[in-house]
Amino acid sequence: MHTLAGVYAAAITPMKPDFSPDLDAIPSLLDFLTSRGCHGVLLLGTTGEGPSFSEKERVGIFRSALQIRSPQPSCKLLAGTGTPSLTETITLTRAVFDLGYDGVVVLPPYYFRKATDEGLFKYFSELILHAVPAEGSILGYHFPGMAGLGFSLDLLTRLKETFPRQFTGIKDSSHDQGLALQLGERFGDDLLVLTGTDSFLQLALGNHAGGCITAPANLISPLLRTIWDGYLRGENISSFQAKLTAIRHTLEKYSPFPPTLKTILAGQYGFPLWPVRPPLESVKPEIAELLLREWSSVVI
């Protein structure tokens, strides 16, 4: 499998009461995630509220996360660097590789929802040529439900053929079962696919995916790791997948994920109750009580 295959948490971002990043809390959160089975983490994806932070704040968060490599040297670090601005995305991506990250996960320029495949190819070509080193890895972030546009199979094929080493793969958060099958049929093992949908993990692995990057991995990475390891050993993982699907569906009732995950991390795992940055809102106390009660019942 690809060196970046595995189970990744789309990490939440710890914040102070004034909504600034809590840089001192990031290493302990990443240590928690890695010690519970994550091969690595994605910083400042959707779950990490990436678009809410400035370029300077993002680089500070990326730098703080490097401290995980002292207690957990095998932890793989991925960074979300996509913005609607090609210039800003190039700057952030360069900074990430200069810091020694393992790769970047890049949204298409989400403000431009009518961009064509040709326009997107030019955007990613410029990004790769100006910011991704020869040994670097970039994954496209396919989340059309959030970004308003995504990666067609033909665009992925063109990027992979043009940049066979640097364009490593895709984080597929489309929640589209058909696409999970099509990606496997079109690319086999040539394109690293990391599913963003926990309920599709077994299906995706059976169709050449290399693992997952998910929001619930902040809470249930041991279960995700059990499924990933079991699949590689050829074991029957259906019962574990059924439990994972039930957990995912429970969490989806309390979307968006960032405040929900922060509430559970505080209520069940002893972390501070970190806020989310506006326009997101923290979970109301009466909803938090219901959420924690239902979470306790479903994870048993």
Average pLDDT estimate for 251-257: 95
How would residue 65 be classed by pLDDT, with cut points 50, 70 and 90?
A: very high
Which CATH number does the domain housing residue 25 bear?
3.20.20.70
Q: How many domains does the chain have?
A: 1
pLDDT at 45 over 70: yes
Q: What is the domain extent for residue 87?
A: 6-236
The pLDDT-based confidence of 275 (bands split at 50, 70, 90) is very high
- Whether 141 is a known active-site residue: answer yes
pLDDT in tens, 118-136: 999 999 999 999 999 999 9
Residue 299 pLDDT: 83
Q: What is the pLDDT of residues 278-290, one digit of tens each?
A: 999 999 999 999 9
Of the residues 101, 110, 141, 231, only one is catalytic, namely 141
pLDDT, averaged across the chain: 97
Among the listed residues 3, 111, 116, 253, the single catalytic one is: 111
Q: What is the pLDDT of residues 218-229, one digit of tens each?
A: 999 999 999 999
- Asked if residue 199 lies in contact with residue 170, where contact means CB atoms within 8 angstroms, the answer is no
- Whether 57 is in a domain gets the answer yes
Residue 291 counted as domain residue? no
What per-residue confidence (pLDDT) applies to 1? 82
Catalytic one among 83, 101, 110, 171?
Answer: 171
Q: Is the pLDDT of residue 293 over 80?
A: yes
Give percent of the chain with pLDDT exceeding 70: 100
Q: Is residue 152, in this structure, part of any structural domain at all?
A: yes
**In the predicted structure, residue 300 carries a pLDDT above the cut 70:** no
Determine if the peptide bond prior to 279 is cis (ω within 30°): yes
- Does the annotation count 76 as an active-site position? no
- Of 40-44, 237-241, 296-300, minimum mean pLDDT range: 296-300
In a domain, 253, yes or no: no
DSSP H or E segment with residue 43: strand 40-43
Q: Catalytic site residue 157?
A: no
Give me the mean pLDDT over the 188-194 stretch: 97
Residue 114: burial class (beta carbons within 10 Å; 0-12, 13-18, 19+) = exposed
Q: Which of 13, 34, 46, 91 is catalytic?
A: 46
Least confident stretch, 182-186, 271-275, 296-300: 296-300
Give the whole-angstrom CA distance, residue 69 versus residue 109.
31
Whether 50 is in a domain gets the answer yes
Residue 205 inside a domain? The answer is: yes
Q: Is 214 helix (H, G, I), strand (E, B) or coil?
A: strand
Active site residue 243: no
Q: Is residue 265 part of a domain?
A: no
